[in-house]
Amino acid sequence: MFMRLVPLFLLLSVQRMRLEACFFVKTIKRMPDCFYRLPQIFINIHTRKFITKRRTIMKDKIFGVLQRVGRSFMLPIAILPVAGLLLGFGGSFTNETMLETYGLLNVMGPGTIPYAIFQVMSEAGNIVFANLPIIFAMGVAIGMAKKEKEVAALSAAIAFFIMHASISAMITINGGTENMLEGATTSVVGITSLQMGVFGGIIVGLGVSSLHNRFYKIELPQVLSFFGGTRFVPIISSLVYTGVGILMFFIWPVIQTGIYALGDLVLNSGYAGTWVYGFLERLLLPFGLHHVFYLPFWQTALGGTMEVGGTLIEGAQNIFFAQLADPTVEHFAVSATRFMSGKFPLMIFGLPGAALAMYRTAKPEKKKAVAGLLLSAALTSMLTGITEPLEFTFIFVAPMLYGIHCVFAGLAYMLMHLFNVGVGMTFSGGLIDMFLFGILQGNAKTNWIWIVIVGIGYFIVYYLLFGFLIKRFDLKTPGRDDGEEVKLYRRSDVEARKNGDNGSEASSEDALSQTICQGLGGKKNISDVDCCATRLRCTVHKAERVDDALLKSTGASGVVHKGNGVQIIYGPRVSVIKSNLEDYLETAPDEEFTAGGNDVDATAHAGVDTNVDGGTNAGVAENANTSSAEATVVETIVISSPITGLAADLSTTPDEAFAGKMMGDGAVVTPEDSVVRAPEDGEVCFVFETKHAIGFLTDSGVSLLIHMGIDTVALNGEGFEVFVENGQKVKKGEPLLGLNLDYLKENAPSLASPVLCTELEDNQKVRLLKDGQIKAGEALFAIDIYE
């Protein structure tokens, strides 16, 4: 009966499906045309979202690069204050007109010891400004390089010389300087080249850093392996910048013409142009782009050109310091100082007025705490022109105040231009620079008195206006918020708010690095970070602050203490962990932690690795052995010795981490032969950069670590010769490494070389097959696999 009903049931089901399909088609036909467009509309919406997202990502990348470029300028810029002080004092006290004005000619004039000292100071300062291009080339390369910064600096210097030498050769080939436009050539570190100014240095610094970041880890074929890695960077930089030099001979004159034209446009923009410059210079500060903005005006033809002492000088700051060293100058060029002098009334008078307003508007119970902070910040601004704590406090708690501050900044520059103030600076507009380059030079040459007149007005306006706005809009400046600690804010606070950084969006790498940092007692407790093939090697200031349990929670298989040295065993992935930790430490808070109830006891310092739960590795191993003995072996994999020597149980290794099997189980061989060979058919996974260890994967799927000697990572590759490269397939017995046994015996703590299985499963157990004399290729240990 049931079998008869089945065909009928199927027939009814098919008929019903036909009816439903017809109904669906009729319904679709009745729908408006827009229904058919829905998929297209949906695609368009998502396409726009995708494009918008890509644009945002691209914008963020460009913005990030510009920020890095701006920060890279800070290293060469940081030398300018010292050079400026030397040139300022030296140039002023060797100026006979000034000495005669102050009645010092007989005491400090030519022929006296003070005059000779100040003359040396003047030349010492002048040499820095005369060679800023190569200083910027090296400084920018250091700032933009991610790692191995010293290599980037050397490569930049070499590339700088080669680029200008190539340009010089092209000038000679094309008829010499006589056939070049007047003012187009100059002497750069003794090389006749094009007048590129610091742009030449920046071009070299940015280009070399890009080459460096791309190639400093390059691996070349075995025959050229000596030239790989960091050694390749100066080589490729030399070749590239030979071509760049040739190219610049044809391109730079066109660029230079454009820069001159733009410089003329800026100079002819009058007071309005000066206001815009001052406004933008402050407006870009929170984004870290102000260095990128003002530097071309200070150091290139964008800030003007002028002949001083018979030499054509480019850049506002360079013009000022050239005039400072020239005793014949009667008044410093305002066309140059207009890009600098506006900072003085702002930083010496305006911001201290704002600080006083914040103090007066603070709550009575917090005024004492606020007073110390604001007084320190105001004095820093007045003396040195460093304004970060005050300005970033505006940005953080009251962006409206910072917007008003930017408007007044532009006005300060415009007023100094209007009143013909000719005071330059080295780095920022504090009292030190004002005294050296304004007061000391005399009012006739600088009109410095207008800084004081305008500055007093700025102090009053900032005090009254900021005080009114703080009270009117209840702005939470320091001392006005019950729930906040009394503090001033810095760039890091603003960046954290902008990025929404409360730790919630940290990457997994940062989270791991943060935990490791805390486990080591915090950034303040960490002295040095390094690694070998399997261990993160750190030196700490206070070993008792290290939290072993916290470090093990990061995936470490053990922690070994040796005095103030801490070794955290992670296995072959340790090099990545080290790099991430170094990156994290660059921006980590300078804090110190105490081990959370996990004191480093005597057993830990003796090198016995204690697990989080209080048991030792030995106990764990014993439990494993017991459970293994009760199971049945279903497969055995034999691993051969990679070298001729003396084989022994791994527990006899003169190293706590290896002997405690923290990185894996296996055996140890003390080599008597100078060649390390492939223990089985397989693949070279990695050769550690210091050549003392090799990661190896056998064709049977066993991951091995062949670690030659103890603490041989400290030899930095000396005593080792590598015959293979990463990813190379090898047969059993093929050479992997060459050893200089005499050198290693003299310089390594021990030649004992662990051969480890680094990824054993719970059902796998190592069994030693040979104890004593062993030859390369003979069975060393077996891996028994239990059911």
Name the DSSP letter for residue 644.
Answer: S
CA 490 to chain centre: 19
SS3 state at 527: strand
In 166-222, the DSSP E strands lie at: 185-188, 191-194
C-alpha distances in Å from residue 620, one per residue of 613, 614, 624, 662, 785: 11, 11, 6, 11, 18
Q: Is the Cβ–Cβ distance between 729 and 685 less than 8 Å?
A: no
As a whole number of angstroms, the distance between CA 517 and CA 666 comes to 31
Beta bridge pairs of residue 101: none
d(CA 310, CA 331): 17
Residues forming beta bridges with residue 722, ordered by sequence position: 737
Residue 645: closest CA among 676, 672, 617? 672
Q: Which residues does 747 contact at the CB level (< 8 Å), separation at least 6?
A: 715, 718, 719
Tokens of 164: 């200008």
The catalytic residue positions are 532
Residue with token string 């930790």 = 581
Beta-carbon-side half-sphere exposure of residue 670 (alpha carbons within 13 Å): 15
607: which 2 tokens? 């090198």
Terminal CA-to-CA distance of the chain, rounded, Å? 53
Taking the C-alpha atoms of residue 601 and residue 547, their distance in angstroms, rounded to an integer, is 11
Q: Half-sphere exposure of 443 toward its Cβ, with a 13 Å CA cutoff? A: 5
Amino acid residing at 83: A
Which pair of structure tokens corresponds to residue 380? Answer: 């820093």
Strand boundaries in 512-618, DSSP class E: 526-531, 535-540, 558-562, 565-569
| AA identity, residue 142 | I
Asked if 451 and 344 touch (Cβ cutoff 8 Å), the reply is yes
Q: Which residue, among 411, 445, 463, has the nearest Cα to 320 in the 3D structure?
A: 445
Per the CB < 8 A criterion, the answer to whether 303 and 315 are in contact is yes
Q: How far is CA 98 from the centre of its chain?
A: 46
b/e 400-435 (16+ beta carbons within 10 angstroms → b): ebbebbbebbbbbbbbbbbeebbbbbbbbbbbbbbe
Nearest C-alpha neighbor of 708 from the set 747, 734, 681: 747
Q: 326 — phi, psi (to 5°)?
A: -100, 110
Query: Could you count the other beta carbons within 10 Å of the beta carbon of residue 47?
Result: 10
DSSP 710: B
